[in-house]
Amino acid sequence: MGRFFALARDMPSSINLSLGEPNFSVPKRALLAGWKAVTEGRTRYEPTNGSAELRRALAEKAFLDYGLKYDPETEVLITVGATEAISLAMLGLLNPRDEVLIPNPGFTAYEPCVTLAEGRAIGIPLLERNEFRPSRRGVMSLLTPRSRVMLLNFPNNPTGAVLSHEESVELAEIATERDMVVISDEVYEKVVYDGGRHECMGSLPGMRERTLVVGSFSKTYAMTGLRVGYIYGPKELIAPLWLLHQYFIACVDSVAQQIALAALTGPQRSVEKMMKEFKRRRDLVHERLNRIDGMRCTLPRGAFYAFPNIRSFKMSSDRFSEFLLKEAHVITVPGSMFGSLGEGYIRLSFTVPYVQLEEALDRIEKVVKRLRRFQVRAPLQPSLVGRTILGANPSLQGRKPQWI
């Protein structure tokens, strides 16, 4: 991805559809609360597990949204975004060689977090023919005596998949039968389309005691840079994570926590407005991509990503994204970045204004039409990931820093 951004820098007219951050403003009321916190001198350490008011507000949210009761003293941990929450969960729970089922394709941080914690990441295939939802059979076939954790992420990045109630229950049953811990990354909980309502994994029968629910303010309140996330879970699972968090981070930024508190407890109109706009964009992207000869795009049911199939162009996803960048000046993410089963797809974020999105789709349509006419067979190329050595820890070998 670094290479793409270097190329894009020289193209001021490029449209960036690669970022996982909403292009909306943080609610004004929340920003004012941050300013108030600064002027009132609330710039000192907060409790290591997070400000008491924010933990209480989050416990209330879990109850109101999902009927889940968590003790704000011991069962809610405020983290530096969901990113920290996921790494803590892996480092805190895994023993060497423990197996963790992760979605494939899936969010880019999962696999490295598992391997850094000396676990083994096993991909749960999310296949297009099943609208990128896992099947019970598929998951069962991956289980071994070392299967310890199931990491789920619905609504899903990069595919936009959402689970039905029955599918969630099936996964919950597998976790219960095999005595596995579930880490459920629910950062897109509010971004669900077509009248669907997000169901929290922790709220399914028997799941509260074995589930860590990961959430974030990044997407819901467009606060990606303020870095506030959280984990809910039973106190036995939260305790080791809290310790690690204390050693690594001490506590989350005190002002950012005040902003998060005001966003969570204030009117939710901004979230509703954002959702309406995402729905409009989702419909546009889905319709326009499917109109392009050779592309096929599954309807995203949640999140703000489209994940079209580009196999018919006989190019690797890496080459295809590069082609779109060079010819259309549109930045996308090669599907291979999200795991082996992402090859053959690209990810487009609809996180730019509607008119810009239309312009990007016009450009893509135009250059792809041309490509279709003059198509030359290009061999599949391995993705860029996996070539350089970054650090002493063998789990970091071959990885490159990248955008989220």
Where do contacts with ligand PMP occur on this chain (CB under 6 A)? 20, 81-83, 107, 153, 157, 185, 187, 216, 218, 224, 229, 404
How far apart are CB 249 and ligand PMP at their closest, in Å?
Answer: 13
Beta-carbon count within 10 A of 208 CB: 20
Residue number of the CB closest to ligand PMP reads 81
Output the CA torsion sign for 105, 108, 112, 117.
Answer: negative
How far apart are CB 145 and ligand PMP at their closest, in Å?
Answer: 28
Nearer to ligand PMP, 299 or 404 (CB): 404
Q: What angle do CA 227, 26, 332 make, to 5 degrees?
A: 70
Residue matched to tokens 């204030």: 266
Nearer to ligand PMP, 82 or 101 (CB): 82
Bond into 105 cis (ω within 30): yes
Beta-carbon count within 10 A of 51 CB: 20
Nearer to ligand PMP, 80 or 361 (CB): 80
Nearer to ligand PMP, 81 or 160 (CB): 81
How far apart are CB 365 and ligand PMP at their closest, in Å?
Answer: 27
How far apart are CB 209 and ligand PMP at their closest, in Å?
Answer: 23
Read off the amino acid at residue 179: D
Phi and psi, residue 239, nearest 5°: -55, -50
Nearest to 199 by CA among 183, 182, 184: 184
Supply 149's token pair: 């954790």
How far apart are CB 223 and ligand PMP at their closest, in Å?
Answer: 8
Q: Give the whole-angstrom CA distance, residue 213 versus residue 234.
A: 10
Over the Cα atoms of the chain, what is R_g? 21
Nearer to ligand PMP, 158 or 234 (CB): 158
How far apart are CB 393 and ligand PMP at their closest, in Å?
Answer: 21
Nearer to ligand PMP, 110 or 242 (CB): 110
Distances (CA, A) of 63 to 83, 190, 218, 232: 24, 16, 21, 11
Would you give the DSSP letter of residue 345? B
Cβ atoms of 317 and 345 closer than 8 Å? yes
Nearest to 264 by CA among 82, 69, 64: 64
Nearer to ligand PMP, 255 or 371 (CB): 255
Residue 98, Cα to own-chain centre: how many angstroms? 23
Would you give the DSSP letter of residue 133? B
Nearest to 259 by CA among 23, 14, 33: 33
Would you give the DSSP letter of residue 292? S
Residue 15, Cα to own-chain centre: how many angstroms? 21
How far apart are CB 205 and ligand PMP at their closest, in Å?
Answer: 25
How far apart are CB 367 and ligand PMP at their closest, in Å?
Answer: 27
How far apart are CB 397 and ligand PMP at their closest, in Å?
Answer: 23
Nearer to ligand PMP, 33 or 226 (CB): 226
Nearer to ligand PMP, 14 or 218 (CB): 218
